[in-house]
Amino acid sequence: MDLVDIIAEKRFLGQEFLTWLWFKSEIRGGAIDLPGIGDISVVFEKHMLLEYGEGEFHEKIICQGLQAELNEARTGLRMGKKLEQARIVLGRGEYEWLMTLKASVFDFKSVKTPKTMATKEESDEPAAVEARLLEKIGLYEQALQLIDELFRLYLNLRLSAEWERELTLIREWVRAKE
Amino acid sequence: MGLLANSGTFVRFAVEGEMPENFWEFAAARIAANAFKDIDDNFEEYSIGWVSVMNMFDAQFAFASHAVGDYIVLSMRIDERKVPASILKKFCMKEEERVKREKQIPKLSRGHRLEIKESIKLMLTKKAAPMPAVYDLCWNLANNTVLFFSTSSTVHAALEDLFKETFGLHLALQVPYMAAANLLHPSQEPALAGMEASIFL
């Protein structure tokens, strides 16, 4: 399969993951226990884009608002739409990352890394530049590692017999929003 | 929205293929061979190549500035002379009018009009200043992944070509399905391939 076919045929994979992540973050008040890492926080905020159907039946809705006001997005879920894009806050220990994740292709947009002490240093000396680059890259990679681990958690569940039980819980969660 | 900006927009690629021995030497030579060449002082239409992430005018990489720890950090720069469609149209119409008056004919043939369009386009392209665009890249050599700071598929295609030309290696965009295949145990792959969408209602 080439890339265009994979994107079209498996578009649901990332969207389902992001929708599941929203469910997962809500049932434990934003905390998710990651194997090998521990509790991290995942909070959905402000901006969401939901999609449904393909071709001429393709529909999408964009919702903006504070966390408590995502009513339209919740209604969208009940109409069978899935999350295509969301602004999320990932927290681990003292660090916090903000990013907009485009689910069908895994575009990481407007990713904000945690503020650190070294960020203030603005020297153009090669050693200082290298240190700044390494720190920034490290922070981006830590965010990706969290996304990877969340995705792995979802995939292992998705491919196991446990998924049926999880699906029941997700459906209850979707219905509870009425 | 590059590597060192306050916030970054990027995608992830996996690097596929055999890494040559003496990788750092090989990389330095190949980056130099594919460094960006300025087209401000000639009439070239398009130029693509590597520059330093810190300075888009630095294509020399003094002290191997592309080597940052276990990473290769570069910017892909594309300069392109473009003529906006409305400007091209205006000058074409002007020239067509001039030729019609000169030859005292009411209409030009399709072939003649195409000829005029070609020559006007060439003339305007030569006059246009090259438009620069810079996209940062960070290659983690330990796990062979690349973060690339653009989400445009046109720019991705240009990167894949330049990367292949420079290092002889393929880039595979890590869309969820590809990322999943890398995260899972190989024995889970058939299950992943056969997966169908769940209904959350």
Write down the pLDDT at residue B28. 93
User: pLDDT by residue (tens digit) across B90-144?
Assistant: 999 999 999 999 999 999 999 999 999 999 999 999 889 999 999 999 999 999 9
Q: Does B177 lie in the same domain as B140? A: yes
Q: Does B16 lie in the same domain as B47? A: yes
Write down the pLDDT at residue A124. 76
Which of A39-48, A128-137, B167-176 holds the top average pLDDT? B167-176
- Number of domains observed in the structure of chain B: 2
Write down the pLDDT at residue A145. 95
Q: Does B149 lie in the same domain as B68? A: yes
Residue count of chain A, please give it: 178
Greater pLDDT, B20 or A177: B20
User: Measured on CA atoms in the order B97, B101, B102, B105, is the torsion positive or negative?
Assistant: positive
Residue B198 lies in a domain: no
Distance from the A96 Cα atom to the nearest Cα atom in chain B, whole angstroms: 13
DSSP state at residue B185:
-
Is B87 near chain A, with CB under 8 Å?
A: no
% of chain B beyond a pLDDT of 70: 100
User: pLDDT by residue (tens digit) across A8-45?
Assistant: 888 899 999 999 999 998 888 888 988 888 899 999 88
Write down the pLDDT at residue A4. 80
Q: Does B172 lie in the same domain as B107? A: no
Looking only at Cα atoms, what is the longest distance across chain A?
A: 58
User: CA–CA separation, A108 vs B134, rounded Å?
Assistant: 18
Residue B118 lies in a domain: yes
**Average pLDDT estimate for A136-163:** 94
Q: Does B145 lie in the same domain as B63? A: yes
Contacts of B201 in chain A (CB under 8 A): 78, 80, 171, 174
Q: Does B76 lie in the same domain as B19? A: yes
Average pLDDT score, chain A: 86
Closest chain A residue to the Cα of B10, Cα to Cα: A108
ipTM computed for the complex: 0.89
Q: To probe the interface with A, which of B72, B177, B200 has the most A CB atoms within 10 Å?
A: B200
Q: Does B189 lie in the same domain as B101? A: no
DSSP state at residue A73:
H
B186: left (phi over 0), alpha (psi -120 to 50) or beta: alpha
The answer to whether the Cβ–Cβ distance between A108 and B179 falls below 8 Å is no
DSSP state at residue B82:
-
Is B140 near chain A, with CB under 8 Å?
A: yes
pLDDT at residue A67 is higher than 70:
no
Write down the pLDDT at residue B196. 86
Counting Cα atoms < 13 Å in the Cβ hemisphere of A52 gives 16
Tell which of B101, B127, B153 closes a domain.
B127
Domain of residue B185 covers: 11-80+132-193
Q: Does B119 lie in the same domain as B21? A: no
DSSP state at residue B184:
S
Q: Does B146 lie in the same domain as B94? A: no
pLDDT-derived band at B63, boundaries 50, 70, 90: confident
Geometric angle at alpha carbon A10, from A73 and A19, rounded to 5°: 25
Write down the pLDDT at residue A51. 83
User: pLDDT by residue (tens digit) across A43-63?
Assistant: 988 788 888 876 677 778 887
Please name the member of B147, B151, B173 whose beta carbon is closest to the beta carbon of A140: B147
pLDDT at residue A68 is higher than 70:
no
Which of A34-43, A120-129, B30-39 holds the top average pLDDT? B30-39
Residue B50 lies in a domain: yes
User: CA–CA separation, A88 vs A97, rounded Å?
Assistant: 8
User: CA–CA separation, A125 vs A68, rounded Å?
Assistant: 47
The answer to whether the Cβ–Cβ distance between B147 and A10 falls below 8 Å is no
Tell which of B102, B127, B152 closes a domain.
B127
Residue B140 lies in a domain: yes
Write down the pLDDT at residue A117. 66
Please name the member of B12, B54, B177 whose beta carbon is closest to the beta carbon of A129: B54
Residue B2 lies in a domain: no
Residue B168 lies in a domain: yes
Tell which of B94, B127, B160 closes a domain.
B127
Write down the pLDDT at residue B121. 93
Residue count of chain B, please give it: 201
